[in-house]
Structure 1
Amino acid sequence: MNTKHEITNRYDVLIVGFGPAGAVAASMFGQRGHSVLVIDRMTGIYEKPRAIAIDHEILRHFDNMGIAEDVLPFVAPFTASQHYGAQGQLIRRIDMVPEPYPLGYTPSMVFTQPPVEQVLRRHADSLDTVTIELGTELIDLTDTGHEVVATLRSSEGEVRNVAAKYAIGCDGASSTVRQLAGIVLEDLVFDEPWLVVDVQVHDAALEKLPQTSAQFCNPARPTSFIIGPKNHRRWEIMLLPGEDGREMENPENVWQLLSPWLAPEDGDLWRAASYRFHALVAHDWRRGRVIIAGDAAHQQPPFIGQGMCQGLRDVSNLVWRLDRILKGQSSDALLESYTTERKRHVRTLTGKIKAIGQMICERDPSVAAERDARILSEGGGQPPTITRQEIVPPIEEGLIGAEGAPGRGLLFPQPAILAYGETVLLDRVIGHDWRLLLDGRKVSSDDAQALAQTAQGITVCTIAAAGSADVSDGVMHEKDGVLANWFDRHGTIAALVRPDHYVFAGAADIPTLRQHLDDLQTRLA
């Protein structure tokens, strides 16, 4: 630690990195009343697109933050993705689950990153307890045991020390926070060179392109095609042995690669960037009072567009834990399950993404032909359809109920609620802290009242089916049966739901539900 400089300010949380994960973390802490300093060595937003996909879980968090309406103008539904085999034949589809959508939003979406990132930053900046310092670099970090002291250098060269109760590194794949904390990355064994190309396609040329997103699983040159918002189209093109990534970024080489679809006069080249698609995960996500999230904690291939989603899942998982700790409601031990949950989730999802990537990236024509035949056989001779939501796993271990508890670790649905002649999503009605949702078809009003008296610090809500005559206090009526179907599917009468919308546990009867409540209170303390 640089001891020449006195500590100039103290905060609850220091966030290093003001990309999407850092901006969302700053807003979530600020909305909970915590003092936050967020720094970034850059002075502005990168003006070209990088991430392109989000999903309904992330938009739900944006809605909880109060910014969904500001984000939606830059978002569009993710079209179905068609996978084409070695001979150009359709071998598989990846689509969305049908309506009514389980979380109330289109399950898979594409977005334009720069304006969305601007919305995220503007929201963080609007909060009184959030301080933002751009053009500021972290150069040292020391955990004293009761706080973290950070040495910062401004763009003018001024060096000073600040302190925070916790420091969070959201500072990307080359994270300074991770390096200073001595956290190492585990290699999940995926390393492929790709070129990512973004084009603003002219209106007249749009009809020349596929009308859905596509994976061209061609051994000669595996390629992904993604339909972004409006005229934005993206190609992810595998580079072949001997091709230099920087050289392939040159416009003449890019247009040569795009020649099966477009000519230079058909659009404006927005970005061409070569990458190595990696699969990495941090061994530890926390060292004392220093924590990492987002690309600082993991990197994964982009084949189902979950990179930014995973970073925001990290943040939503972390913030409610630190909120309780900072408010004295839970001990520091609550952070132990952060690494457990998120690392397992990342490893499981990365394994699935790797399998998809290895299928797409197959370069051996005979093996590719066998792959195509196998996939078609699995569909009974027809191209099978899977949904992106089937690919994203639940929480498998951590702060969830005992093994065998129905629904444990699943992302909980959000039904549309009928209220005063309007349709409103559930979170907007009851909030998004700890919640106990009861099946109004099976739980009596007396039991609901008794549970509400004992479930300290938990919002208790009974959901009745549309058309139900039950008008008891605290009973809400859902519009489409989304929650009733969930209760039936899992054989439960209730679900205990965390602030990040994952199920702690479901219960098939009242005595079991009380056991889960007791278990939760013990573990939170």
Structure 2
Amino acid sequence: MATFSTNGVAFYKPPTNTDEYNVFSDGPTTVDDNSHRSTHLASTFDVAIVGYGPVGGFFANLLALQGHSVVLVEQSPHIYDKPRAIVLDHEALRVLQMIGLGKEIAGMISNHAGTTFIGLDGEPIKHFDPLPPPYPLAWFPTVMFIQPEMEQFLRDRGTSRFLRTTPDRDPSHGVVEVLLEHRVVGLDEDAGGVTVHVKDITGEAKFDKNMLDVVSATSLKRPAGAGETSAGDALSSGKSEPPTGAKHEEKQPFSIRAKFVIGADGGSGNSFVRKSLRIPYDSLDFDEWWIVIDTWLQRPAQPPLPPKSRQYCWPHRPGTFIIGPRNLRRWEIKLLPGEDPAIYSDPVKGLDRIKNLLGVYVEDVDAVDVWRAAVYRFHALVARKWTSERGRVFLAGDAGLCAGIRDSVNLSWKLSHMLRHPEIEPSSTPLLGTYQRERAPHVTTIVGHGKSFGLIIGELDLEKAKARDAEMRRLMAEGKVSSYRQAFIPDLDGGCVAEGDSAGGKLFPQPLVSTATGEKVKMDDALLHPRTMSWLIVAKDIEALDWLSSSSNSFMRSLGAQRIVVHPVGTNRSVESGSDTVVVEELEGVLAAWFEKYNARVAVVRPDRCYAYGAAQDEAGLNGLIEGIRKWLTN
């Protein structure tokens, strides 16, 4: 696990027209989730998820679709509305597609136009551009979104399908129970599962409409050299105090039982699960404070705002400009040494100070209306362990949203396999150990890139900034640096992949395909069971599937593996599907190019669908892959 902790609220002002800018008709901070509260709670679950943020929501949807019972325990009464994630990548979108929500999000996202890094002289020193089509996963590679809006969508269109009270709930799906305003206060793990001790905290901790960071256990800390305690601390402490004289009835904890527990309950300072496992973090030596300001563009600014996002690499005030969906415009601005973040939460002068900050980058400040702002501590940390000793408690989702979604899809299919095979002791199988083996290097690399870019943007020394600009322009002119964001996203370098296979662990494409009816769809949607996290056997011709031995075929069927043939574009071969094999034709050549790159005719794809287990060119190679999977899943 890695984390960027976020502590302290600066200021909040609701948008003037919430109906125009936000899906919440009654404003963005007080979403009523009473419909998600469970009234008849079971006592035993397959999985307990601590934290009902977006990562917890993804876990719940993935696991329930596989038929597993889930309980979500969340201490807040409603969604955490604060400037946080704003970018999703194509892997995250593919997971949304897997849980059946891909087609509904079009109106909530916008394509990322790219980013320009601006040097001291106001000219570019680096570019990040979107990948050109055809897109590897059939989704635009990077999109922008509004996190509270997406979270509400994930609950209303996702989790609500599995609630016990949902009419016409699919009986093949697992039941999801939701405990809002409840806090996990203890975990007792044994060989058979985990006893989760839960306390009802109704009335003890709620979001205040004017305070966004009210569940943080850590009060705002100041950068080195900052001033003493000020009146603004009342807003920035992250606490919502009851009225004077108010009394809360002390409720006794109760217990529920789960076979596995997932801690998706925040970063280093806030996660009860991490603390209960006593897992330390290693620092990547990056610890800075920034203020994040979300605004709505009310009219065209004069002069116009940049057409692409920008990184202002200016020592006098490093900052970032981001173009969000619809009229959302965000600025992320570094706090300077000695600057007290509490001054921006002053209820009288805070808004004027925020506008003064915006004035560093925007001449026409009145063209935007400040919606919300928060002070963040960007602290790069990596957990030394992601799993308990007995292998029944896991950490997830504290290294950013895209990383958390990768956590969810990586771990969910492995837990699903274990739940279907209760005879396997978690600590005795290598499968669950691959969660940390695969995710930790990936997260460390991503956080390391974030640190590197942060050092580029946040350089405060003028002479060093001049040297940086010169070097980056030289590299840009010589074409020695990639301009594509996806180039910085690593593949898997180990774990549950075919050893020695060049395709093992590589991002597996999702091409656009044409079905037998002529419908044009993304490949995953053409599967017989598109919502099932199953192994895939993907071949470029039907003959390659005949290579499966009877033993391999029987084993893969026992796993519920799906088979699909994707003919290269223009082959004019039949796309009539059989009873257990889908046959389609590719439209753009993305998958054909992947097969050519790895000299293969067939690939075995992991249940997360994003990564290949391996690829083969002949019968021996394909059956060898299946034998490797057998060892991973049965030992």
Identity %: 34
Equivalent pair of 1:45/1:118 in contact (CA under 8 Å): yes
How far did 1:145 drift? Answer: 2.4
**In structure 1, what residue type is equivalent to 2:64?**
G
Equivalent pair of 1:93/1:383 in contact (CA under 8 Å): no
Please say which of residues 232-241 and 41-50 is displaced more in the overlay: 41-50
Determine which of 506, 510, 513 is the counterpart of 2:622: 513
Please give the secondary structure, in 1, of the residue aligned with 2:432: helix
**Matching residue of 1:484:** 592
Give 5+ residue unaligned stretches, structure 1. Answer: 1-6, 300-306
Q: In structure 2, how many angstroms separate the alpha carbons of the residues matched to 1:258 and 1:116?
A: 26
**Matching residue of 1:467:** 570
Q: In structure 1, how many angstroms separate the alpha carbons of the residues matched to 2:617 and 2:472?
A: 38
**In structure 2, what residue type is equivalent to 1:141?**
L
**Matching residue of 1:75:** 109
Please say which of residues 261-270 and 224-233 is displaced more in the overlay: 261-270
Please give the secondary structure, in 1, of the residue aligned with 2:84: coil
Q: In structure 2, how many angstroms separate the alpha carbons of the residues matched to 1:70 and 1:206?
A: 35
Residue 251, structure 1, aligned to residue 351, structure 2: yes
Please say which of residues 379-388 and 445-454 is displaced more in the overlay: 445-454
Describe the superposition over 1:304-330 as per-residue Cα deviations: whole angstroms up to 9, x where unpaired: xxx200011001100000000001076
**Matching residue of 1:154:** 200
How far did 1:69 drift? Answer: 2.6
Residue 223, structure 1, aligned to residue 319, structure 2: yes
Describe the superposition over 1:237-288 as per-residue Cα deviations: whole angstroms up to 9, x where unpaired: 1111110112134212111111130555322211111111111121111102
RCO comparison, higher one (Cα < 8 Å, 6+): 2
Q: In structure 2, how many angstroms separate the alpha carbons of the residues matched to 1:203 and 1:385?
A: 35
**Matching residue of 1:234:** 330
How far did 1:469 drift? Answer: 3.0
Change in 2 beyond 3 A, CA 1:49/1:130 = same
**In structure 1, what residue type is equivalent to 2:470?**
A
Change in 2 beyond 3 A, CA 1:393/1:476 = same
Residue 409, structure 1, aligned to residue 505, structure 2: yes
**Matching residue of 1:163:** 257
Determine which of 323, 330, 348 is the counterpart of 2:416: 323
Please give the secondary structure, in 2, of the residue aligned with 1:294: coil
Change in 2 beyond 3 A, CA 1:135/1:444 = closer
Equivalent pair of 1:111/1:229 in contact (CA under 8 Å): yes
How far did 1:384 drift? Answer: 5.9
**In structure 2, what residue type is equivalent to 1:208?**
P
Equivalent pair of 1:415/1:426 in contact (CA under 8 Å): yes
Determine which of 356, 362, 366 is the counterpart of 1:261: 362
**Matching residue of 2:280:** 184
Describe the superposition over 1:130-177 as per-residue Cα deviations: whole angstroms up to 9, x where unpaired: 001100111111112212111111134342111111111100111011
**In structure 2, what residue type is equivalent to 1:164?**
A
Q: In structure 2, how many angstroms separate the alpha carbons of the residues matched to 1:324 and 1:428?
A: 22
How far did 1:444 drift? Answer: 4.8
Q: In structure 2, how many angstroms separate the alpha carbons of the residues matched to 1:193 and 1:445?
A: 55
Q: In structure 2, how many angstroms separate the alpha carbons of the residues matched to 1:207 and 1:423?
A: 43
Equivalent pair of 2:312/2:457 in contact (CA under 8 Å): yes
Determine which of 51, 55, 58 is the counterpart of 2:89: 55
Describe the superposition over 1:192-227 as per-residue Cα deviations: whole angstroms up to 9, x where unpaired: 111111111112328621110011111222111110
Equivalent pair of 2:117/2:124 in contact (CA under 8 Å): yes
Determine which of 295, 300, 305 is the counterpart of 1:199: 295
How far did 1:503 drift? Answer: 1.1
Describe the superposition over 1:95-135 as per-residue Cα deviations: whole angstroms up to 9, x where unpaired: 11111111111100010111210111222122040001100
Q: In structure 2, how many angstroms separate the alpha carbons of the residues matched to 1:391 and 1:407?
A: 18
**Matching residue of 2:443:** 346
Residue 108, structure 1, aligned to residue 216, structure 2: no
**Matching residue of 1:4:** none
Equivalent pair of 2:302/2:363 in contact (CA under 8 Å): no
**Matching residue of 2:178:** 132
**In structure 2, what residue type is equivalent to 1:154?**
D
**In structure 2, what residue type is equivalent to 1:483?**
L
**Matching residue of 2:220:** none
How far did 1:338 drift? Answer: 0.6
Determine which of 91, 97, 110 is the counterpart of 2:125: 91
Equivalent pair of 1:406/1:491 in contact (CA under 8 Å): no
Equivalent pair of 1:10/1:163 in contact (CA under 8 Å): yes
Determine which of 525, 531, 538 is the counterpart of 1:428: 525
Q: In structure 2, how many angstroms separate the alpha carbons of the residues matched to 1:336 and 1:445?
A: 31
Please give the secondary structure, in 2, of the residue aligned with 1:317: helix
Please say which of residues 106-115 and 42-51 is displaced more in the overlay: 42-51
Equivalent pair of 2:548/2:622 in contact (CA under 8 Å): no
**How do residues 263-278 of structure 1 correspond to structure 2 at under 5 angstroms?**
263-278=364-379
Describe the superposition over 1:343-370 as per-residue Cα deviations: whole angstroms up to 9, x where unpaired: 1111122122211211111222222222
Change in 2 beyond 3 A, CA 1:223/1:522 = same
Residue 362, structure 1, aligned to residue 459, structure 2: yes
Please say which of residues 466-475 and 110-119 is displaced more in the overlay: 466-475
Please say which of residues 430-439 and 58-67 is displaced more in the overlay: 430-439
Please give the secondary structure, in 2, of the residue aligned with 1:33: coil
Change in 2 beyond 3 A, CA 1:69/1:206 = farther
Change in 2 beyond 3 A, CA 1:54/1:445 = closer
Q: In structure 1, how many angstroms separate the alpha carbons of the residues matched to 2:42 and 2:553?
A: 46
**In structure 2, what residue type is equivalent to 1:171?**
D
**Matching residue of 1:396:** 493
Please give the secondary structure, in 2, of the residue aligned with 1:286: coil
Change in 2 beyond 3 A, CA 1:349/1:158 = same
How far did 1:81 drift? Answer: 0.5
Determine which of 475, 478, 484 is the counterpart of 1:378: 475
Please give the secondary structure, in 2, of the residue aligned with 1:126: helix
Please say which of residues 250-259 and 450-459 is displaced more in the overlay: 450-459
Describe the superposition over 1:73-109 as per-residue Cα deviations: whole angstroms up to 9, x where unpaired: 2111111101111221111110111111111111000
Equivalent pair of 1:125/1:132 in contact (CA under 8 Å): no
Q: In structure 1, how many angstroms separate the alpha carbons of the residues matched to 2:79 and 2:619?
A: 51
Residue 13, structure 1, aligned to residue 59, structure 2: no
The structure with more strand, counted as a fraction of residues: 1
Give 5+ residue unaligned stretches, structure 2. Answer: 1-40, 165-174, 203-250
Q: In structure 2, how many angstroms separate the alpha carbons of the residues matched to 1:367 and 1:508?
A: 52
Q: In structure 2, how many angstroms separate the alpha carbons of the residues matched to 1:381 and 1:210?
A: 26
Equivalent pair of 1:228/1:234 in contact (CA under 8 Å): yes
Q: In structure 1, how many angstroms separate the alpha carbons of the residues matched to 2:444 and 2:595?
A: 29
Please give the secondary structure, in 1, of the residue aligned with 2:294: strand
